[in-house]
Amino acid sequence: MQRTLSLETPKKIGHDVSVSGWVNSRRDHGGVIFIDVRDHTGIVQLAIHPDATGAFAVADKLRDEFVITATGKVIDRSPETINKNIPTGAIEILTSEILLLNSSKPLPFPIAFADDQNVGEDIRLKYRFLDLRREKMQKMLVKRHKMIKYIRDWMDGQGFIEITTPILTSSSPEGARDFLVPSRLHPGKFYALPQAPQQFKQLLMVGGVPKYFQIAPCFRDEDPRADRSPGEFYQLDLEIAFADRDETVFQELEPLFIKLTEDFAGKKCMQKPFPRLPYLQAMEEYGSDRPDLRFGMKMVDLTDDLRDTKFSVFGNAIKNGGVVKAICCQGGAKLTRSQIDELTEFVKKEGAGGLAYIVLDNVNSSSPLPLGEGQGEGHAGLRSPILKFLSPDEISAITSKTNSAQGDIIFFGADQKDIVNKVLGKLRDKLADIFGLKDPGLMAWAWITDFPMYELNKEGNLDFMHNPFSMPQGGLKALNEQDPLTIRAYQYDIIANGLELSSGAIRNYNPEIMYKAFELVGYSKEVVDEKFGAMIRAFEYGAPPHGGFAPGIDRLLMLLENEPNIREVIAFPKNGSAEDVMMGAPGTVEEKQLKELHIKLDLPKKK
């Protein structure tokens, strides 16, 4: 008798079937035992009557998560017992035989196949093999598989060649700490796990590969966060030969993201082709290099309009070299006093001194923000504590430039530009949450372009802002003549809905330009040769222009599934402390292993 999956059973009315799975629940109703058996396709109900002596005896002993095979005839349920909430709710299996395949200990948490459980993340991850039985996780595993297959098929159709690159390689400075692997055969030397296959994919371009890709494992020793898997992750790594400008990469790969959005996820792309937004413009208008473009609320610079203002908060900021910027939240006049107070505390935590605002409210309406004592006079339907400090011309400039209307609220930031951009950018995102502006069925893709080549690090020293292998705009001339902080790179990100999916670049394939680019951040020619010798040598033998990027597989699935926690799209993730609590990693090793590797531990003393 062929085993039948539970979702196929409604097609088998009157036929004998055999189903296998886990006991989802057991109920004893007046002598008849009902068991919901579950496999990866769903749930089907077994009905075991006392006259099925052997099956009834086994059913009487079954408990949740016991593993069984049940045999019987598929029959219609009586009308009053139909369960419309599951696909098999109109039938049941009149069971004649049950085979107990395995039992289960009492569970550390209940497994409800249809519902998420309010269980601590660490306990879920410790027993991940149980957590994976939940319907949500089963579906996510299948979706991940199908998404990767979809990508592979599409890449193959576009002429990309899948090539795997080494896992044990050399350490290189790429922005995060390496995971080091000691060599037993070469005492005192270490391999590094690749942060990305960056050098290898560029070497493939030199090797004559026209289009490369792989679903690449990457390893970075960095702190975890909600949208970043600590330690390891997978990315769609790709590179295209003879790509000498951003648009070559954009036009090649944009159709993939459109198809993933529309065909795979069933969502709508907000704009096609995707907008191209220069980095500086993104920071000036949205306060972020990964803005959520599903809604507006752009920042407006009012510095010149308020340069002579009598309002000291604004005036002092401008005199100290800062700026005054504003965002207009449409319909924001609905905010209550307590909500305004909460937003004020929110921006203070982000570095602001306070939160000035103007409410545009109908004069004759009952405002949710009454004037109150000491708040100043209303100005033609405007309400704010700061109105008495502003001239009519200043108020007119503010309302005009922010394009505000009755029912809106204007929020201000006044400080150094970086602080204002950051604070108003965070406030913009917060307001979008409050007013429900983030449409889950919409994907607002965009390319962020023209990133700075360099930035100052925490120590005040010049450093690469992103990938050190990007081609500087202006080439060697720019590196020799420009202030490094003004040099732009052929560097870009692809973003969607406030999340950065990938960084990419048109690569620096000229040895002379590469030496100079690294020289500016303190790397001598000898160090560059030591760290990147293979790539430098390869570029001396006719390297073509090339470029690419590497969208994260985990983040991509997060985006397409509206899942805020990256650990929910990975089968066996680390926890928030970068630990695998199921396998006990990281863990200690035996002294014998350390001796083989010529390693002595120098651990900090316990306090």
Beta strands in 450-564 (DSSP E): 454-456, 462-464, 491-496, 499-506, 546-549
Bridge partners of 528?
A: none
Q: What is the pLDDT of residues 332-383, one digit of tens each?
A: 999 999 999 999 999 999 999 999 999 998 543 444 444 333 344 446 689 9
What is the DSSP track for 248-265? Answer: HHHHHHHHHHHHIIIIIS
Exposed e or buried b per residue across 408-423, where buried means at least 16 C-beta atoms within 10 angstroms of its C-beta: bbbbbbbbebebbbbb
- Counted residue by residue, the chain has a size of 607
In sequence order, the 6+-apart residues with CB closer than 8 A to the CB of 373 are none
Query: Strand 382-383 relative to strand 357-360: parallel, antiparallel, unpaired?
Result: antiparallel
Q: What pTM was computed for the model?
A: 0.88
Residue reference for tokens 């503010």: 398
Q: What is the per-residue pLDDT for 17?
A: 92
Q: What is the pLDDT of residues 414-427, one digit of tens each?
A: 999 999 999 999 99
Looking at 3.30.1360.30, 2.60.40.10, 3.40.50.670, 3.40.50.2300, the CATH number of the domain 295-437 comes to 3.30.1360.30
Question: For residue 586, is the peptide bond before it cis, meaning its omega torsion is within 30 degrees of 0?
Answer: yes
* Strand, helix or coil for residue 584: coil
CA-to-CA distance for 131 and 127, rounded, in angstroms?
A: 6
Q: What is the pLDDT of residues 445-492, one digit of tens each?
A: 999 999 999 999 989 999 999 888 899 999 999 999 999 999 999 999
The count of other CB atoms within 10 Å of the CB of residue 85 is: 8
Q: What is the pLDDT of residues 259-292, one digit of tens each?
A: 999 999 999 999 999 999 999 999 999 999 999 9
Supply 254's token pair: 């944009």
- So where are the chain's domains? 6-102, 138-276+445-581, 295-437
Query: Is pLDDT above 60 for 114?
Result: no
Supply 339's token pair: 């909500």
Q: What is the per-residue pLDDT for 602?
A: 86
Q: What is the pLDDT of residues 60-99, one digit of tens each?
A: 999 999 999 999 999 999 999 899 888 889 999 999 999 9
Q: What is the per-residue pLDDT for 362?
A: 58
Looking at 3.10.20.600, 2.40.50.140, 3.40.50.720, 2.60.40.4070, the CATH number of the domain 6-102 comes to 2.40.50.140
Reported CATH class of domain 138-276+445-581: alpha beta
